[in-house]
Amino acid sequence: MDVKIKTALISVSDKTGVADFAKALSAMGVKIISTGGTARAIADVGVDVVSVDSVTGFPEMMNGRVKTLHPKIHGALLGLRDNTEHLAAMETHNIEPIDMVCINLYPFEQTVAKPDCKFEDAIENIDIGGPSMVRSAAKNHKFVTVVTCPDQYEKVLAEMKTNKGAISNQTRSDFARIAFGLTASYDAAISKYLNQKADVEFPERINLSLSKVRELRYGENPHQSGAFYKLPCSGEVSISAADILEDQTQISFNNLLDVNAAFELVKEFSDPAAVVVKHLNPCGCSVDEDIHKAYQKAYLGDVVSAFGGIVALNRKVDKDLATVIMESYARFGKAKGAGGFFAEVIIAPEFDPDAIELIRTLKAWGKRVRLMSTGPIDRTKIDTNEFDVRCVVGGILFQQRDLVGWEPDQLTYPTKAKPTEKQLEDLQMAWICAKHVKSNTITLVKDKKLVGVGAGQMNRVESGLIAFKNAGDEAKGAALGSDAFFPFPDNVENAAKAGVACVVQPGGSKKDDEVIAAADKLGIAMVFTGKRHFKH
């Protein structure tokens, strides 16, 4: 059923396009009811406006806290036009139907995001009348159109122009569905803020507010559908806040998981760093004074696994760096036995225009690689209040994010041999990389280059053997990182056979004494962190 719009109530905080919208509605004969600043903005373009207090017969009061919470407003929105009792009540109480409400809510999230926001300011920016009218209109969408976003104005006007001033049932239904999502999201933001203020880490109820960024080609596999949603922006630089440049090839579900894994690791380093990720695990990682060399060393960490991987950098991609990345196989990979190279995604803080042009034209695969630009990385804006969320069937697990890095003051040195300053640098990188590898984890780092990784095995010994095999001769003199303690000396013994010089691990095993004794016997320096980095 189509419903002709005769009367509209407009009251918005975001006034983008609202004056032109009201003007177009008025030109189609729609009566406009409005309040406060919205009424002034509409009147300024020559549109006749009826004030809310003239409709209700009751003045705005309490600094505007009470103005639309009135039976003549909500009766006008909730009254069923095909119900004789409702119509009789509306006639008895002189309630004129309202066919459309155009509402967007007080900017609560923008207000509380300000560093100097006071609690009183936050409370005053909790909208009451707006969500109430949105919900009333959405409930009665059989007869009422609820418009909650400036992006909807064009659709409303176009439909009214082609439909004799009426809005279709489909549009009213779609807008109502969106409206309830808006009010749910709004309440979730308020709840999150109040929980934080009360220092409640895990409240009785958690409502996640997410907005859809894009639908994906499919999920992990082609028979699964998928979409990408993001939380409200916290100011942290992340893949959720990144721009996809020239979105020529649709990014996939698996791409986004891998890009997140790569970018979160590269964010750990303040010096120029490059990471290559395949199937959620880093197969290459390097830190160097020169970002070009850092990328080269990261790629050379595992040229076979790098094929079809994700490249993450913490510095701008200029034309020279773009050339090095695109020519990885010809410059370095061929000699190392790689079968070829291409990247699914390259993510970096910024891309020079000539770098983008070169990526798109130098190699055939450059036309389809996704480029993601994040802006400058600022570790001071890490959102420590965001949860790490994992889904299980029928429920969700919440935990704090693992934001623990290298903590020099917490380290202990249980072995007779002590690591050198250079070894400590490699141990630090091995520990940070281990944090971003699936458990059980063994990482090998030499000269600030990840040379071997053992990931996700059912036992730590097997992870070590895989890492040693991948590293080959580069394991000699390398630093080994383990995400959890060694339950037996076997990992140390295998490390010594491979030529490993030093080890970093949490410690805390019942057999630490045996592990330490084995390290002493084999001349390996060991560092305990006191923390573990399981990543299931």
Contact (CB, 8 A) for 2 and 141: no
End-to-end CA distance of the chain: 52
Residue appearing with tokens 């009792």: 85
Cα–Cα distance for residue pair 473/454, rounded to 1 Å: 16
Query: Which residues, in sequence order, are bridge partners of residue 66?
Result: 61
User: From the centroid of its chain, how far is CA 514?
Assistant: 44
DSSP single-letter state for residue 513 = H
Sort 375 into a burial class: Cβ within 10 Å, 0-12 / 13-18 / 19+.
exposed
Q: What is the rounded radius of gyration, in angstroms, for the C-alpha atoms of the chain? A: 30
Helices 460-471 and 490-498, interaxial angle, to 10°?
Answer: 10
Q: Concatenate the DSSP letters of all residues of 349-372 into one string.
A: S-B-HHHHHHHHHHSGGGGT-EEE
Scanning 3-128, the segments in alpha helix (DSSP H) are 18-27, 36-43, 52-56, 71-78, 84-92, 108-112, 119-124
- Token readout for 450 is 């990840």
Residue 82 burial (CB count, 10 A) = 9
Q: Concatenate the DSSP letters of all residues of 449-469 into one string.
A: BEEEEE-S-SSHHHHHHHHHH
Q: Concatenate the DSSP letters of all residues of 88-118 into one string.
A: HHHHHTTPPP--EEEEE---HHHHHTSTT--
139: annotated active-site residue: yes
Cα–Cα distance for residue pair 401/137, rounded to 1 Å: 40
Query: Which residues, in sequence order, are bridge partners of residue 348?
Result: 373
Contact (CB, 8 A) for 21 and 183: no
User: Can you list the pairs that 473-476 forms with residues at least 24 positions away whose Cβ atoms lie under 8 Å?
Assistant: 474/444, 474/446, 475/444, 475/446, 475/451, 475/499, 475/500, 476/500
Q: How far is CA 33 from CA 107, 370, 409, in A?
A: 22, 48, 64
Cα–Cα distance for residue pair 85/148, rounded to 1 Å: 30
Catalytic residue among 139, 155, 293, 511: 139
Reported as half-sphere exposure (CB side, CA atoms, 13 A), residue 348 has a value of 23
Phi, psi of 495 (to 5 degrees): -65, -40
Catalytic residue among 70, 230, 279, 316: 279
279: annotated active-site residue: yes
Q: Which residues are catalytic?
A: 139, 279
